Amino acid sequence: MASETAAVIIKALKEIVGEQNASNSEAIRQAYSRDQNYMFNEPKQPDYVVRVKTKEQVKKILQFANEKRIPVVPLGQGVNIRGLCIPTKGGILLDMRGMNKILDINLEMMTATIEPGVSVGQLVAACRKKRVRPAIPGAPATVSAFANYMLRGVYHSNPQDGMDHVLSMEVELATGETVRTGSSAISTSYGPYCRYFGPDLTGLFMGVPGAFGVITEMTCKLYDLPEDSKFMVFGFDTWENASKFGVQLMKREIPTLLWLIDWLAVAVISGYSRREIIKKTPMKSFPVVSFPFLIEGTKEDVEFKLRKLDKLVETSPPDHDFRQKDFSVAMSSEEFLGGRNVAGMLKMGYYFALAFFHPLCNAAQVFALFKEMGEKHGFDKDIVSFVSTPTRTGPNNWSGQLTYSEGELFVDQTEPGMMENLRAFAADCVKGLLDRKLIYSWFRPYSAVLEQTLERAGDTKTFLHKIKNLLDPNGIMNPGKFL
């Protein structure tokens, strides 16, 4: 942009948010230019960084940006690993960390109303004081609870509570209009505690990272803290065996939490060094699939579920029963009540993950594809990692055996040719999963999956573009992300 135009724009932005809250300094802009996914999303600085604290400021910024046709990229807490907040077209980076109020915790309605900058740790701490809990994502406590709920995160309680925790929203559109979803749309409703009012407009704004508008307020579900809990681990020698047992466990509605984790992922969180893992030293110490799960509820609920578990183990015994073994070094039920400890992952180098939804019954096929593509592109198949968690789709319902999974690789990005191999591996995994009809959809709209996926969407892609054009006629909202 011409310096004269930039001077006019930064002056207008400062008039909206104050002198200290808008900047086009390169030193400040650089901090927003990349995240952990930089190998797949080329770093790019925004032209301006604007820190907002109120809905009114958000509305004015969007109206100004829409008039000037300046791209806007909203950011909740900035703990990003998928490139969704990288301003690939420049423009305004809308930093919403200052909007960090918990507006309400309603124990009668079992809801919390929050702003975008509220962190998971902040929300968990406030809820614990009232003996309730929010849905807790498998992420550090510093991440935005708001952004995770909007993007449907992966939660510790997926097998029991599912992944949809949002009831209603307030959204600022690029056109200057304010849209309220769910029961909050009706000014005389009892409150923002019901998701439904005609079409599911709450769902419309979920899974799209600021591409349709900027969400400024959200009412989400809360859950009781359990009276009792039992954490235990089984082990399996094949993914087929682990998947079959997982299906039976889910059908009996036993677990609050359940993960299927291969040896490498367990080794990472157990404290093994990168050198030991690359040499596969820990491989013989763990089963092919570790199977940690948590049972929660009242004392009566837990006892009832344990009896169901005992009957299942009698008829379909796991390959390894570790219920009497202490796994606290590798994992603890305490971690599932707060943020995830990811420190062990940092020592492994560049972290790549491709995440998606599929039926649990085909987990072995999906993992085999990742190993196949790994070998094709020069990676040791034993170092290709895989984790899964079944995801409830509704109360007492697990339709489609819905399961969140991710194929992972930890690589040394400094090795010559490594990142080219990784990009080729990722592209072939995406194509293979789609061509072989192994998955339902992607976890989030990563740049690595969008092009291949949307070209298969037919008239649905056209319909989505019509919605985008209606809500964002000048195409300023996080352009290039999702649509």
Q: What share of the chain is helix, strand, coil (3-state, %, to 5)?
A: 40, 20, 40
CB-based contact 107:129 (threshold 8 Å) = no
How many Cα atoms occupy the beta-carbon half-sphere of 362 within 13 Å?
17
Residue 250's CB is within 10 A of a number of other CB atoms, namely 21
- Tell me the residue type at 260: L
Nearest-angstrom CA–CA distance, 73 and 90: 9
pLDDT at residue 413 in the model: 83
pLDDT in tens, 451-470: 889 999 999 999 999 999 99
Residues shown for the chain: 483
Range with the poorest average pLDDT among 97-106, 333-342, 446-455 = 333-342
CB-based contact 58:52 (threshold 8 Å) = yes
- Comparing CA positions, the residue from 441, 474, 415, 365 lying closest to residue 163 is 441
pLDDT at residue 270 in the model: 82
Which of the four pLDDT bands, split at 50, 70 and 90, describes residue 3?
Answer: low
SS (H, E, C) 221-250: EEEECCCEEEEEEEEECCHHHHHHHHHHHH
pTM higher than the cut 0.85: yes
pLDDT at residue 1 in the model: 45
pLDDT in tens, 337-366: 665 566 566 677 788 889 999 999 999 999
Which SS3 state, helix, strand or coil, does residue 470 take? Answer: helix
Residue 82 confidence (pLDDT) above 90: no
pLDDT at residue 209 in the model: 86
pLDDT in tens, 36-78: 777 777 888 999 999 999 999 999 999 999 999 999 999 988 7
How many Cα atoms occupy the beta-carbon half-sphere of 350 within 13 Å?
17
Query: Could you tell me whether strands 72-75 and 92-95 are parallel, antiparallel, or unpaired per DSSP bridges?
Result: parallel
368-372 mean pLDDT: 96
Q: Kindly list the structural domains of the chain, giving each domain's residue range(s) and its CATH number in brackets, ordered by start.
A: 102-224 (3.30.465.10), 231-442 (3.40.462.10)
Residue 336 confidence (pLDDT) above 70: no
- Tell me the residue type at 127: C
pLDDT at residue 39 in the model: 72
The first and second tokens of residue 20, run together, are 């200290």
pLDDT at residue 103 in the model: 98
pLDDT at residue 215 in the model: 97
pLDDT at residue 338 in the model: 60
279 Cβ contact partners less than 8 Å away, ≥ 6 residues apart = none
295 Cβ contact partners less than 8 Å away, ≥ 6 residues apart = 229, 230, 231, 232, 254, 255, 256, 302, 305, 306, 309
Range with the poorest average pLDDT among 56-65, 331-340, 406-415, 437-446 = 331-340
φ, ψ at 350 (rounded to 5°) = -70, 130
pLDDT in tens, 220-265: 999 999 999 999 999 999 999 999 999 999 999 999 999 999 999 8
Residue 330 confidence (pLDDT) above 60: no
pLDDT in tens, 268-315: 888 888 889 889 999 988 999 999 999 999 999 999 999 999 999 999
pLDDT in tens, 15-38: 999 999 999 999 999 998 888 777
Nearest-angstrom CA–CA distance, 349 and 353: 13
- Tell me the residue type at 452: Q
The better pLDDT of the pair 276, 83 is held by 276
Nearest-angstrom CA–CA distance, 357 and 402: 6
Percentage of the chain with pLDDT > 70?
A: 94
pLDDT at residue 339 in the model: 58
- Comparing CA positions, the residue from 427, 350, 349, 429 lying closest to residue 37 is 350
